[in-house]
Every structure is written in C-alpha cells, then in structure tokens.
Amino acid sequence: MFSSSKATATAGRKRVGRRSPLATVSLIVVGLLTTGGAYALFTSTATAETGSGTTSAVSQDKVNEGQKLFAANCATCHNMSGSGTTEGPSLIGVGAAAVDFQVGTGRMPAAANGPQALEKPVQFTNEQIQAMAAYVASLGTGPSEPQSKYLKENGNAANGAELFRINCAMCHNVAGAGGALTEGKFAPSLKGVSSKHIYEAMLTGPQNMPVFNDMNITPQDKADIITYLKYLEKNPSPGGFQLGDLGPVSEGLFIWIFGLGAIVAITVWLTARSH
C-alpha cells in the first residue's frame, strides 16, 4: 500500500512542468491570446482611421474607400470583384439599398455559415456603410436607398395593414412579431426595425425574403406599410396583455399554466380539511 502511493507520487512529479499535458494547452491559449489581441488592436486602429477619413469624400473617393473596405471585409465570400463564390452570392446589381440593409442591421459581415445570417451589433460606421454601398452600386445598377419622403411614417395605416396582411403577415405574423420558416430559418420580428431598413428589405428581398419591387408594392404603399408597423409599435394592444403577439402558442401556454393551475389550486383547497 505504501509503495503504491509512493509510485503515484513520483508519477505525479514527473508530469509537472514542460511535459505536463496542461503545458500544451496553455501554450496554445497564450498564443491565441497574443495573436488575437494584436489583430484586434490592428483592426480597431484601422477602423478608426477609415472612419475619420471619409467625412468629406467626393463620390469617386467614396467608391474607392468602399472598395478597400469591401476587399478587407467582404471579399472572402463575395470575391474580390463582388461576383460571388460558393460561400456567398454575387453582389453585382444588388444595389446600395441591399448593402445599407445587410451591413446597417449587422447581418453582414456574417459571423458564420448557417441557415440565416443573424442580426448583430453593427460593425461599421454610417460613412463606411455608405462607402461600401457606393462601391457595390458601382458594380451594377440596382435599387438605391429610399427617398426620405417615404420614411416619414405618415402614410395610410389602414391601407398599409391590408397590404401587410396580404404580402407580409404569413411570415412576419400579423402583428410583425416574426415567425418560423423551414430548416432553421425564420422571419424576424419587425418591432424596432428602422423605417429605412423595412423599406430596403421590401425593395431588395434580403436572404430568403422575396423581393417586393416598386411595381408590386409602390413606394407609397411601402410607406403605408411602414406607417402601419410604426402604428403598431406606438399603440398599445386593445386586448390587454399581448404575450409576445405570438398567437395561440403563447396564449395557450398561458391559460394552461395559469388558468388550469388556478382551477387545480381551488379544487385542492375545496376538498382539503381545515387544519
């Protein structure tokens, strides 16, 4: 017994230091931290430089600036010429509106391959987004960013509601709360999305959303839809608790838990003896 414990002790002593299995792991961790930290430092300074440089840029400068940003941040998947690879679609002809939507909501650059690029904190300043949009727009004609007169949220909310029910509600839910699609994809909630981004999404059909061009839904109709969505955001539901506007799922869960729970509790109390 004594000898065996001694053997373990010596084995333990042998495994410390350079030959410990933990040494490899910690070496990797240290290496990753150093390179990652240096990279982060480098990219953040680079971002700061470009951010201040584009303030008074003329159009061609803007395009050139955008091309640099594109080469650094987008070209891995979309190719240096923007013609697309197996990882990402061609951006020729998608227009400035698509760039402003995708980059302006943080969906691009995508963090990882998946069913759907998710909304994230925005990675670029507004000027950088404008520069990339100008560059992508120069690759081929496509929808440009919407005129501000359609984003004023003062259209006809009733007409917008009808159009929303016909064209949008099947995926985005009648209250704009979003909903599930196939194989892990989903239509996001429209609450808190800026008018400009809603307009651009209809115009360009990001990811799996169909395109609703100006012949299908006219700019004024798009303004009406935006008015309806903003009306929903500003006005409380007349029916009391909204429970996420998700319809029968959340409402059913609520009544099963709290309604039936209350009935069970009362039944137990009714038949229990007074102590």
Partner 1 sequence: MADHDDETLAGSAVEKAEPQKISAGTAVIPADPFENPGEPQHHIRMTDKDPAEEKRAARQVSTLFFASIVFSCLAVAAYIAFPIKDGDTGSIRLNNLFLGLGIALGLLAIGIGAVHWSKAIMPAREITEQRHLTRGSDATRAKAVEVFELGNKESGFGRRSLIRNSLFGALFAFILPGVVIFRDLGPKVDPNVVLRHTLWKKGMHLTLDPSGTRIKAADVTLGSAFHVIPESLLDSEDLLEEKAKAAVLLMRLKPEDLHEPEGREDWQYNGIVAYSKICTHVGCPVALYEQQTHHLLCPCHQSTFDVTENCKVIFGPASRPLPQLPITVDDQGYLVAQSDFHEPVGPSFWERDRA
Binding residues vs partner 1 (CB under 8 A)? 162-163, 166-167, 170-171, 179, 181-183, 185, 187, 205, 207-213, 215-216, 238-240, 269-270, 273-275
CA distances, 170 to each of 55, 70, 247, 255 (Å): 42, 35, 13, 25
Measured from the CB atom, the residue of 55 and 113 that comes closer to partner 1 is 113
What DSSP string runs through 137-173? HHHS----PPPGGGSSS-S-HHHHHHHHHHHTHHHH-
Q: Provide the minimum distance between the beta carbon of 161 and partner 1 in the complex, in angstroms, as a whole number.
A: 11
Q: Provide the minimum distance between the beta carbon of 241 and partner 1 in the complex, in angstroms, as a whole number.
A: 12
Q: Provide the minimum distance between the beta carbon of 220 and partner 1 in the complex, in angstroms, as a whole number.
A: 12
Measured from the CB atom, the residue of 53 and 179 that comes closer to partner 1 is 179
User: Are the CB atoms for 144 and 97 separated by under 8 Å?
Assistant: yes
Q: Which of 73, 164, 154 is nearest to 111 (CA)?
A: 73
Q: Provide the minimum distance between the beta carbon of 245 and partner 1 in the complex, in angstroms, as a whole number.
A: 15
Q: Provide the minimum distance between the beta carbon of 36 and partner 1 in the complex, in angstroms, as a whole number.
A: 33
Q: Provide the minimum distance between the beta carbon of 261 and partner 1 in the complex, in angstroms, as a whole number.
A: 16
User: Are the CB atoms for 127 and 82 separated by under 8 Å?
Assistant: no
Q: Provide the minimum distance between the beta carbon of 90 and partner 1 in the complex, in angstroms, as a whole number.
A: 12
Residue 226's SS3 state is: helix
On the 0-12 / 13-18 / 19+ scale of CB atoms within 10 A, 145 is buried
Q: What is the largest CA-CA distance in the chain?
A: 89
Measured from the CB atom, the residue of 131 and 217 that comes closer to partner 1 is 217
CA distances, 212 to each of 109, 113, 204, 225 (Å): 24, 26, 7, 12
User: Are the CB atoms for 206 and 98 separated by under 8 Å?
Assistant: yes
Burial 161-186 (b: 16+ CB within 10 A, else e): bebbeebbbebbbebbbbbeeeeeeb
